[in-house]
Amino acid sequence: MNRPNPPHIVAEAASADPRSVGALGLLAAVASRFSDYLELTKPRIVVLELIVAGAAAALASPQGLNVPVVIQALAATALVAGSASIANQWLERRIDLRMRRTANRPLPAGRVSSAEAIVLCVATLAAGVAWLGLQVNWTTAILGVASWITYVVIYTPLKQISSANTAVGAVAGAIPILMGWTATGAPLDLTAWTLAGVLFLWQFPHFMAIAWLYRAEYARAGHQMLTVVDPTGARAGVQAITGALLLIPVSMIPAMLPTSGSPSLYSLWAIALGGVQLALAIRFAVIRDESSARLLLRATLIYLPAWMTLLLMVSV
Protein backbone atom coordinates (compact mmCIF):
# COMPACT_ATOMS: atom_id res chain seq x y z
CA MET A 1 0.00 0.00 0.00
CA ASN A 2 2.74 2.49 0.86
CA ARG A 3 4.95 1.64 -2.08
CA PRO A 4 5.79 4.80 -4.08
CA ASN A 5 4.77 4.83 -7.76
CA PRO A 6 7.60 4.63 -10.31
CA PRO A 7 8.45 8.15 -11.72
CA HIS A 8 7.02 7.50 -15.21
CA ILE A 9 3.64 6.61 -13.69
CA VAL A 10 3.66 9.78 -11.59
CA ALA A 11 4.58 11.88 -14.67
CA GLU A 12 1.90 10.27 -16.82
CA ALA A 13 -0.66 10.69 -14.07
CA ALA A 14 0.13 14.41 -13.71
CA SER A 15 -0.78 15.12 -17.35
CA ALA A 16 -3.86 12.90 -17.47
CA ASP A 17 -7.56 13.54 -17.04
CA PRO A 18 -8.22 13.77 -13.26
CA ARG A 19 -11.11 11.28 -13.51
CA SER A 20 -8.91 8.66 -15.18
CA VAL A 21 -6.15 9.35 -12.64
CA GLY A 22 -8.66 8.62 -9.89
CA ALA A 23 -9.72 5.39 -11.56
CA LEU A 24 -6.11 4.36 -12.25
CA GLY A 25 -5.08 5.18 -8.71
CA LEU A 26 -7.94 3.12 -7.36
CA LEU A 27 -7.05 0.23 -9.66
CA ALA A 28 -3.40 0.38 -8.55
CA ALA A 29 -4.46 0.44 -4.89
CA VAL A 30 -6.76 -2.57 -5.37
CA ALA A 31 -4.06 -4.48 -7.27
CA SER A 32 -1.48 -3.76 -4.59
CA ARG A 33 -3.90 -4.83 -1.84
CA PHE A 34 -4.70 -8.02 -3.74
CA SER A 35 -1.00 -8.84 -4.17
CA ASP A 36 -0.46 -8.43 -0.40
CA TYR A 37 -3.41 -10.73 0.32
CA LEU A 38 -2.05 -13.24 -2.20
CA GLU A 39 1.41 -13.10 -0.63
CA LEU A 40 -0.15 -14.04 2.72
CA THR A 41 -1.25 -17.37 1.22
CA LYS A 42 2.33 -18.44 0.20
CA PRO A 43 1.10 -19.01 -3.36
CA ARG A 44 4.16 -20.91 -4.68
CA ILE A 45 3.80 -23.63 -2.03
CA VAL A 46 0.05 -23.79 -2.74
CA VAL A 47 0.69 -24.22 -6.48
CA LEU A 48 3.08 -27.16 -5.93
CA GLU A 49 0.60 -28.71 -3.49
CA LEU A 50 -2.13 -28.40 -6.13
CA ILE A 51 0.07 -30.00 -8.78
CA VAL A 52 0.68 -33.08 -6.61
CA ALA A 53 -2.97 -33.22 -5.46
CA GLY A 54 -4.18 -32.95 -9.08
CA ALA A 55 -1.79 -35.71 -10.17
CA ALA A 56 -2.98 -37.89 -7.28
CA ALA A 57 -6.58 -37.35 -8.41
CA ALA A 58 -5.65 -38.44 -11.94
CA LEU A 59 -3.88 -41.55 -10.60
CA ALA A 60 -6.92 -42.41 -8.49
CA SER A 61 -9.21 -42.23 -11.53
CA PRO A 62 -7.94 -44.76 -14.09
CA GLN A 63 -11.44 -44.79 -15.63
CA GLY A 64 -11.23 -41.05 -16.35
CA LEU A 65 -11.20 -37.92 -14.24
CA ASN A 66 -14.39 -36.18 -13.12
CA VAL A 67 -12.95 -32.81 -14.16
CA PRO A 68 -15.58 -30.45 -12.63
CA VAL A 69 -15.30 -32.14 -9.22
CA VAL A 70 -11.50 -32.22 -9.27
CA ILE A 71 -11.28 -28.55 -10.29
CA GLN A 72 -13.55 -27.64 -7.38
CA ALA A 73 -11.51 -29.86 -5.03
CA LEU A 74 -8.28 -28.12 -6.06
CA ALA A 75 -9.78 -24.63 -5.76
CA ALA A 76 -11.19 -25.43 -2.32
CA THR A 77 -7.89 -27.04 -1.24
CA ALA A 78 -6.12 -23.83 -2.33
CA LEU A 79 -8.47 -21.86 -0.04
CA VAL A 80 -7.77 -24.15 2.96
CA ALA A 81 -4.00 -24.20 2.32
CA GLY A 82 -4.00 -20.41 1.81
CA SER A 83 -5.90 -19.97 5.08
CA ALA A 84 -3.30 -22.13 6.88
CA SER A 85 -0.49 -19.93 5.60
CA ILE A 86 -2.33 -16.75 6.62
CA ALA A 87 -2.79 -18.17 10.14
CA ASN A 88 0.90 -19.20 10.22
CA GLN A 89 2.00 -15.69 9.23
CA TRP A 90 -0.38 -14.04 11.68
CA LEU A 91 0.97 -16.19 14.54
CA GLU A 92 4.55 -15.38 13.46
CA ARG A 93 4.00 -11.68 12.63
CA ARG A 94 6.43 -10.50 15.33
CA ILE A 95 8.95 -13.35 14.93
CA ASP A 96 9.04 -12.78 11.15
CA LEU A 97 10.40 -9.26 11.79
CA ARG A 98 13.63 -10.85 13.05
CA MET A 99 14.40 -12.60 9.74
CA ARG A 100 15.40 -10.76 6.56
CA ARG A 101 13.62 -13.40 4.45
CA THR A 102 10.30 -12.73 6.17
CA ALA A 103 10.53 -9.18 7.58
CA ASN A 104 8.93 -7.65 4.49
CA ARG A 105 5.89 -9.93 4.55
CA PRO A 106 2.57 -8.05 4.56
CA LEU A 107 1.90 -8.44 8.32
CA PRO A 108 5.31 -7.62 9.84
CA ALA A 109 5.77 -4.81 7.30
CA GLY A 110 2.39 -3.36 8.30
CA ARG A 111 0.86 -3.45 4.80
CA VAL A 112 -1.96 -5.70 6.06
CA SER A 113 -3.55 -5.32 9.49
CA SER A 114 -4.09 -8.15 11.97
CA ALA A 115 -7.85 -7.73 11.64
CA GLU A 116 -7.71 -8.05 7.85
CA ALA A 117 -5.55 -11.18 8.10
CA ILE A 118 -7.90 -12.79 10.64
CA VAL A 119 -10.99 -12.07 8.50
CA LEU A 120 -9.26 -13.47 5.40
CA CYS A 121 -8.02 -16.52 7.30
CA VAL A 122 -11.46 -17.39 8.71
CA ALA A 123 -13.29 -16.63 5.45
CA THR A 124 -10.96 -18.78 3.29
CA LEU A 125 -11.00 -21.63 5.82
CA ALA A 126 -14.80 -21.63 6.12
CA ALA A 127 -15.33 -21.30 2.36
CA GLY A 128 -12.74 -23.98 1.55
CA VAL A 129 -14.00 -26.55 4.07
CA ALA A 130 -17.68 -25.97 3.19
CA TRP A 131 -16.89 -26.19 -0.53
CA LEU A 132 -14.96 -29.44 -0.07
CA GLY A 133 -17.64 -30.96 2.16
CA LEU A 134 -20.69 -29.94 0.13
CA GLN A 135 -19.37 -30.25 -3.44
CA VAL A 136 -16.60 -32.86 -3.14
CA ASN A 137 -16.94 -35.08 -0.07
CA TRP A 138 -16.51 -34.86 3.71
CA THR A 139 -13.46 -37.19 3.80
CA THR A 140 -11.53 -34.61 1.76
CA ALA A 141 -12.89 -31.76 3.91
CA ILE A 142 -11.81 -33.53 7.12
CA LEU A 143 -8.33 -34.15 5.67
CA GLY A 144 -8.14 -30.43 4.90
CA VAL A 145 -9.04 -29.55 8.48
CA ALA A 146 -6.49 -32.10 9.76
CA SER A 147 -3.73 -30.55 7.63
CA TRP A 148 -4.74 -27.01 8.72
CA ILE A 149 -4.67 -27.97 12.42
CA THR A 150 -1.37 -29.86 12.11
CA TYR A 151 0.26 -26.88 10.37
CA VAL A 152 -1.22 -24.02 12.38
CA VAL A 153 -1.88 -25.43 15.84
CA ILE A 154 0.99 -27.93 16.19
CA TYR A 155 3.79 -27.14 13.71
CA THR A 156 3.84 -23.35 13.98
CA PRO A 157 4.28 -23.12 17.79
CA LEU A 158 6.58 -26.18 17.79
CA LYS A 159 9.08 -24.28 15.62
CA GLN A 160 10.03 -22.29 18.74
CA ILE A 161 10.28 -25.40 20.93
CA SER A 162 11.80 -28.43 19.19
CA SER A 163 13.60 -29.45 16.01
CA ALA A 164 10.98 -32.21 15.72
CA ASN A 165 8.85 -29.46 14.15
CA THR A 166 10.02 -30.46 10.66
CA ALA A 167 8.53 -33.96 10.94
CA VAL A 168 5.21 -32.43 12.04
CA GLY A 169 5.30 -29.87 9.21
CA ALA A 170 5.99 -32.73 6.82
CA VAL A 171 2.76 -34.45 7.92
CA ALA A 172 0.79 -31.26 7.21
CA GLY A 173 2.53 -30.89 3.85
CA ALA A 174 1.84 -34.51 2.84
CA ILE A 175 -1.91 -34.48 3.52
CA PRO A 176 -2.98 -32.50 0.39
CA ILE A 177 -1.85 -35.38 -1.84
CA LEU A 178 -4.33 -37.59 0.04
CA MET A 179 -6.97 -34.90 -0.52
CA GLY A 180 -6.43 -35.10 -4.28
CA TRP A 181 -6.89 -38.86 -4.05
CA THR A 182 -10.04 -38.85 -1.88
CA ALA A 183 -11.60 -36.03 -3.96
CA THR A 184 -12.27 -38.68 -6.62
CA GLY A 185 -14.15 -40.85 -4.12
CA ALA A 186 -11.38 -43.49 -4.16
CA PRO A 187 -10.58 -45.16 -0.83
CA LEU A 188 -7.19 -44.50 0.81
CA ASP A 189 -5.34 -47.63 -0.38
CA LEU A 190 -1.65 -48.56 -0.45
CA THR A 191 -0.95 -46.41 -3.51
CA ALA A 192 -2.45 -43.34 -1.81
CA TRP A 193 -0.36 -43.86 1.34
CA THR A 194 2.71 -44.47 -0.83
CA LEU A 195 2.24 -41.10 -2.53
CA ALA A 196 1.84 -39.43 0.86
CA GLY A 197 4.92 -41.30 2.10
CA VAL A 198 7.03 -39.96 -0.77
CA LEU A 199 5.78 -36.41 -0.18
CA PHE A 200 6.47 -36.75 3.57
CA LEU A 201 10.04 -38.00 3.03
CA TRP A 202 10.74 -35.45 0.25
CA GLN A 203 10.34 -32.62 2.74
CA PHE A 204 13.51 -33.62 4.63
CA PRO A 205 16.01 -32.94 1.81
CA HIS A 206 13.80 -29.99 0.76
CA PHE A 207 13.82 -28.36 4.15
CA MET A 208 17.27 -29.35 5.47
CA ALA A 209 18.79 -27.42 2.56
CA ILE A 210 16.65 -24.41 3.52
CA ALA A 211 17.40 -24.85 7.24
CA TRP A 212 21.11 -24.67 6.39
CA LEU A 213 20.81 -21.63 4.12
CA TYR A 214 18.86 -19.65 6.72
CA ARG A 215 20.42 -21.06 9.90
CA ALA A 216 21.60 -17.68 11.18
CA GLU A 217 18.17 -16.12 10.61
CA TYR A 218 16.39 -19.06 12.26
CA ALA A 219 18.69 -18.74 15.29
CA ARG A 220 17.96 -14.99 15.51
CA ALA A 221 14.23 -15.71 15.40
CA GLY A 222 14.47 -18.40 18.09
CA HIS A 223 13.27 -21.17 15.74
CA GLN A 224 14.65 -24.51 16.92
CA MET A 225 15.50 -25.87 13.48
CA LEU A 226 17.99 -28.73 13.28
CA THR A 227 20.69 -26.39 11.97
CA VAL A 228 20.19 -24.17 15.02
CA VAL A 229 20.32 -27.06 17.48
CA ASP A 230 23.35 -28.46 15.61
CA PRO A 231 25.07 -25.55 13.83
CA THR A 232 27.66 -27.85 12.24
CA GLY A 233 24.89 -29.02 9.89
CA ALA A 234 25.94 -32.65 10.32
CA ARG A 235 22.53 -33.75 11.62
CA ALA A 236 20.75 -31.79 8.89
CA GLY A 237 22.91 -33.61 6.36
CA VAL A 238 21.97 -36.97 7.86
CA GLN A 239 18.25 -36.11 7.77
CA ALA A 240 18.50 -34.88 4.18
CA ILE A 241 20.18 -38.15 3.14
CA THR A 242 17.75 -40.29 5.15
CA GLY A 243 14.70 -38.68 3.55
CA ALA A 244 16.17 -38.80 0.03
CA LEU A 245 17.28 -42.42 0.50
CA LEU A 246 14.07 -43.85 2.01
CA LEU A 247 12.08 -42.06 -0.64
CA ILE A 248 13.58 -44.25 -3.39
CA PRO A 249 12.19 -47.63 -2.19
CA VAL A 250 8.89 -46.02 -1.19
CA SER A 251 8.56 -44.46 -4.65
CA MET A 252 9.10 -47.95 -6.10
CA ILE A 253 5.94 -49.32 -4.49
CA PRO A 254 3.58 -48.08 -7.25
CA ALA A 255 5.62 -50.17 -9.72
CA MET A 256 4.61 -53.31 -7.83
CA LEU A 257 0.91 -52.50 -7.86
CA PRO A 258 -1.54 -53.64 -10.54
CA THR A 259 -2.51 -50.02 -11.38
CA SER A 260 0.91 -49.35 -12.86
CA GLY A 261 1.20 -49.61 -16.67
CA SER A 262 4.94 -49.98 -17.32
CA PRO A 263 6.56 -51.02 -14.04
CA SER A 264 10.11 -51.47 -15.32
CA LEU A 265 10.17 -48.15 -17.18
CA TYR A 266 8.70 -46.41 -14.17
CA SER A 267 11.21 -48.04 -11.78
CA LEU A 268 14.14 -47.04 -13.94
CA TRP A 269 13.14 -43.38 -14.08
CA ALA A 270 12.06 -43.26 -10.44
CA ILE A 271 15.48 -44.62 -9.39
CA ALA A 272 17.22 -42.11 -11.68
CA LEU A 273 15.22 -39.14 -10.32
CA GLY A 274 15.55 -40.25 -6.70
CA GLY A 275 19.22 -41.08 -7.30
CA VAL A 276 20.06 -37.58 -8.50
CA GLN A 277 18.28 -36.10 -5.48
CA LEU A 278 20.09 -38.52 -3.15
CA ALA A 279 23.48 -37.72 -4.73
CA LEU A 280 22.85 -34.00 -4.14
CA ALA A 281 21.75 -34.70 -0.55
CA ILE A 282 25.01 -36.62 0.03
CA ARG A 283 26.99 -33.79 -1.56
CA PHE A 284 25.23 -31.30 0.71
CA ALA A 285 25.88 -33.47 3.80
CA VAL A 286 29.58 -33.72 2.96
CA ILE A 287 30.31 -30.18 1.76
CA ARG A 288 27.68 -28.21 3.70
CA ASP A 289 28.12 -24.91 1.92
CA GLU A 290 25.71 -22.43 0.37
CA SER A 291 25.99 -23.71 -3.19
CA SER A 292 25.48 -27.39 -2.26
CA ALA A 293 22.41 -26.40 -0.23
CA ARG A 294 20.99 -24.25 -3.04
CA LEU A 295 21.55 -27.02 -5.56
CA LEU A 296 19.78 -29.56 -3.32
CA LEU A 297 16.87 -27.16 -2.76
CA ARG A 298 16.52 -26.60 -6.52
CA ALA A 299 16.69 -30.36 -7.14
CA THR A 300 13.90 -31.04 -4.64
CA LEU A 301 11.68 -28.45 -6.35
CA ILE A 302 12.28 -30.25 -9.68
CA TYR A 303 11.96 -33.78 -8.25
CA LEU A 304 8.34 -33.50 -7.16
CA PRO A 305 6.69 -32.38 -10.43
CA ALA A 306 9.07 -34.66 -12.39
CA TRP A 307 8.14 -37.71 -10.29
CA MET A 308 4.42 -36.97 -10.57
CA THR A 309 4.70 -36.51 -14.34
CA LEU A 310 6.50 -39.84 -14.55
CA LEU A 311 3.82 -41.60 -12.51
CA LEU A 312 1.10 -40.13 -14.71
CA MET A 313 2.93 -41.10 -17.92
CA VAL A 314 3.33 -44.74 -17.00
CA SER A 315 0.14 -45.34 -15.06
CA VAL A 316 -2.75 -47.01 -16.84
Question: Closer CB to ligand HEM, residue 128 or residue 169?
Answer: 169
Binding mask 181-220 for ligand HEM (x = CB under 6 A): ----------------------x--xx--x----------
From 61-69, 80-88, 183-191, 253-261, give the range in contact with ligand FPP by CB under 6 A: 80-88
Q: Which does 277 bind (CB under 5 to 8 A by kind): ligand HEM, ligand FPP, none?
A: none
Q: Which does 77 bind (CB under 5 to 8 A by kind): ligand HEM, ligand FPP, none?
A: ligand FPP
186-215 positions binding ligand FPP, by CB under 6 A:
none
Q: Which does 147 bind (CB under 5 to 8 A by kind): ligand HEM, ligand FPP, none?
A: ligand FPP
**Angle at 47 (CA atoms; ends 41, 49), nearest 5 degrees:** 100
By the rule CB under 6 A, 101 interacts with ligand HEM: yes
By the rule CB under 6 A, 292 interacts with ligand HEM: no
Among 150, 166, 182, 315, binds ligand HEM (CB under 6 A): 166
C-alpha–C-alpha distance, residues 69 and 83, integer Å: 21
From 11-19, 29-37, 42-50, 77-85, give the range in contact with ligand HEM by CB under 6 A: 42-50
C-alpha–C-alpha distance, residues 112 and 106, integer Å: 5
Buried b (16+ CB within 10 A) or exposed e, 153-180: eebbebbeeebebbebbbbbbbbbbbbb
**DSSP β-bridge partners for residue 260:** 315
190-196's contacts with Cβ under 8 Å and 24+ in sequence apart are 190/253, 190/257, 191/59, 191/60, 191/253, 191/254, 191/257, 191/259, 192/56, 192/60, 194/250, 194/251, 194/253, 194/254, 195/52, 195/56, 195/59, 195/254
Residue 296 neighbours by CB under 8 Å, 6+ apart: 205, 208, 209, 240, 277, 280, 281, 283, 284
Q: How far is the CB of 155 from ligand FPP (least distance, A)?
A: 6
Among 169, 233, 254, 274, binds ligand HEM (CB under 6 A): 169
**Number of Cα atoms under 13 Å in the Cβ half of residue 301:** 12
Among 49, 50, 111, 177, binds ligand FPP (CB under 6 A): 49
Q: Which residue's Cβ lies closest to ligand HEM?
A: 173
The single-letter code of the amino acid at 296 is L
Among 50, 57, 73, 77, binds ligand FPP (CB under 6 A): 77
- What Cα–Cα distance (Å) separates residue 21 from each residue in 26, 28, 32, 33, 231? 8, 10, 16, 18, 54
Q: How far is the CB of 176 from ligand HEM (least distance, A)?
A: 7
Nearest CA to 202 out of 257, 286, 280 is that of 280
The single-letter code of the amino acid at 181 is W
Q: How far is the CB of 257 from ligand HEM (least distance, A)?
A: 23
By the rule CB under 6 A, 179 interacts with ligand HEM: no
Give the binding site for ligand HEM (CB under 6 A): 44-45, 48-49, 52, 101, 166, 169-170, 173, 203, 206-207, 210, 301
Give the binding site for ligand FPP (CB under 6 A): 45, 49, 77, 80-81, 84-85, 88, 144, 147-148, 151, 155, 169, 172-173, 176
